[in-house]
Structure 1
Amino acid sequence: QRVQAKDIVGAIAGEAGIPGKLVGTIDIYDKYTFVEVPKENAKKVLDKMKNIKIKGNKINIEKANTRRK
């Protein structure tokens, strides 16, 4: 869908109002993407990003499961 990391950072910064430099690692796969944000900003990002589009694509956003060690 030609979405790049900079598009995701821009959307999060614009919608959630947090600086783009706070967005951590972004792993883009064919069917899903993982985006690392500070724990204290996670709820705000989830709430603000629910009904937006990135490059014309509606997104589904949810908290990732905890990584098993």
Structure 2
Amino acid sequence: METSHDLDRAQWRKSSYSGTNGGECVEVADGCAASVPVRDSKDPAGPVLVLSAGAWQAFVDGLR
């Protein structure tokens, strides 16, 4: 199991469904093996939640 993540150089992306009105948005970072880092786009220096790839997929499937 991966226990640490170096996110200093992470490339964060926001959903294409996110508007530009400063609403509630999350960003995810690509390129982390077997995990998906998630953060609040309004607080990029804030905490990061790191989910397993399976947990992230279940979350996205639940949104559909």
Q: Same fold (TM over 0.5)?
A: no
TM-score by length of 1: 0.28
Greater fraction strand: 2
Larger Rg, first or second structure (1 or 2): 2
Greater fraction helix: 1
